[in-house]
Amino acid sequence: MTTPNPRILVLWADRDSTNLGLRALAEGTESIVARRWPNADLTFHTQDSQGTPLSKRSVLRDIFRSRGPIKREISRYDAILDTGAGDSFTDIYGLRRLILMAYVQRVAAQRRVPTILMPQTIGPFDSRVGRLIARKSLQQATRVFARDPVSLTYARQLGRRSAAESTDLVFALAQPDRTGTVERDVVVNVSGLLWSENPHVDHHSYRRSVTALIDGLLQRGHRVGVLAHVLDSPMTDNDVPAVRQVGSHFGDAVEILVPDSLTGVRGILATANVVIGARMHACLNSLSVGTPAIPWAYSRKFAPLVDALGWNMHVDLRASPDPARETLALVESLNLSAARNEVQQILSRTDVMMDELGAGLNDIDVRQTAL
């Protein structure tokens, strides 16, 4: 039986997260839910949400108990929409994160709570344990949506033949109000993840590339804004310290942009001529508001998604001998009018895909929780 006011848990996305990408996933999911269950009661959890019982440390307290903290929380809901934090359904960030996600999915399956894997990157899984965990998760999910064709193929190779393709949930968001906005030229998102030591790219090389890029843009007469897309917090993975260091290096020659909300960052991105960023959702947010973007890819999640959108302008930090030079060449060759028209065509296609995603939830009957 489908309840008209279902209680829905949205996993690994949070409307209050300092990571504006997770906010985009949360609000995009909320928009999709409204098309299927307009009166739904939504709760958002990431492992870092304040007071959440869905944390890594809770797994050990839950696993041997019939009414552990995770089981109690999951039993409160009629359905679960698992965003995978966009790109966390993989073992490249370590098995602990994947085990937490898989354990919550397992509890949901045991409690017979329908679980939909919302559009996300699936894989890669470089370890045998990771592949075993992923295969089980994909098998027990009610529905599986991949956000790019490579992820779709990966899911099917792991046994989920009924997986469907969609695109990122950021494209479900409403367009920002551009009234009274300040026009900007080039906005560069500096990633705090890559600014410090990390498993993806050499952080010293990344710092040099960012500095060379901005220096080259300034020499060519561009106005440059330096943007944080993950806001300041006690966590080391945030963009603000890196943005401040870049600002200190270039002084008044650059504009420091630290938004206070998802609405704020989308408004900033909508004012730019072009955005360059290593945070994937800085670039997806940009495209979704109609602004051309040049992603600086550091993992497999980038190229398949933007290529599937029909947007082939990106730089691979792992392969490019000179990311700054390559990016400057792209900026100088950019026909802004043609690029904006191309982005509008992308938005027309993603509108259809978001409608199809909402329709794809129509045949899912959420259970009636025992209140």
Could you tell me the pLDDT band of residue 220, with boundaries at 50, 70 and 90? very high
Query: What pLDDT is recorded for position 350?
Result: 98
The predicted model scores a pTM of 0.94
Query: What pLDDT is recorded for position 147?
Result: 97
Neighbours of 14 (CB within 10 A): 23
pLDDT averaged over every residue in the chain: 94
pLDDT for 86-126, tens place per residue?
999 999 888 999 999 999 999 999 999 999 999 999 999 99
pLDDT for 283-328, tens place per residue?
999 999 999 999 999 998 999 999 999 999 999 999 999 999 999 9
What ranges do the domains of the chain cover? 7-173+350-360, 186-334
Topology agreement, domain 7-173+350-360 and domain 186-334? yes
Q: How many degrees, rounded to 5, is the angle at CA 194 between CA 51 and CA 86? A: 50
Asked if pLDDT for residue 368 goes beyond 60, the answer is: no
Lowest mean pLDDT segment, chosen from 61-65, 80-84, 142-146, 249-253 = 61-65
Q: Is the CATH code 3.40.50.2000 the one for domain 186-334?
A: yes
Query: What pLDDT is recorded for position 115?
Result: 96
Give mean pLDDT, residues 139-155: 97
Asked if pLDDT for residue 342 goes beyond 60, the answer is: yes
Assign 3-class secondary structure to the chain: CCCCCCEEEEECCCCCCCEHHHHHHHHHHHHHHHHHCCCCEEEEECCCCCCCCCCHHHHHHHCCCCCCHHHHHHCCCCEEEECCCCCCECCCCCHHHHHHHHHHHHHHHHCCCCEEEEEECECCCCCHHHHHHHHHHHHHCCEEEECCHHHHHHHHHCCCCCCEECCCHHHHCCCCCCCCCCCCCEEEECCHHHHCCCCCCCHHHHHHHHHHHHHHHHHCCCCEEEECCECCCCCCCCCHHHHHHHHHHHHHHEEEECCCCHHHHHHHHHCCCEEEECCHHHHHHHHHCCCCEEEEECCCCHHHHHHHCCCCCCEECCCCCCHHHHHHHHHHHCCHHHHHHHHHHHHHHHHHHHHHHHHHCCCCCCCCCCC
Asked if pLDDT for residue 83 goes beyond 60, the answer is: yes
The two tokens of residue 188 are 């560069």
Query: What pLDDT is recorded for position 66?
Result: 85
Could you tell me the pLDDT band of residue 64, with boundaries at 50, 70 and 90? confident
Could you tell me the pLDDT band of residue 50, with boundaries at 50, 70 and 90? confident
User: Which fold, 7-173+350-360?
Assistant: Rossmann fold (3.40.50)
pLDDT for 178-219, tens place per residue?
776 778 999 999 999 999 999 999 999 999 999 999 999 999
Query: What pLDDT is recorded for position 363?
Result: 74
pLDDT more than 70, % of the chain:
97
Give mean pLDDT, residues 37-48: 93
Give mean pLDDT, residues 146-152: 97
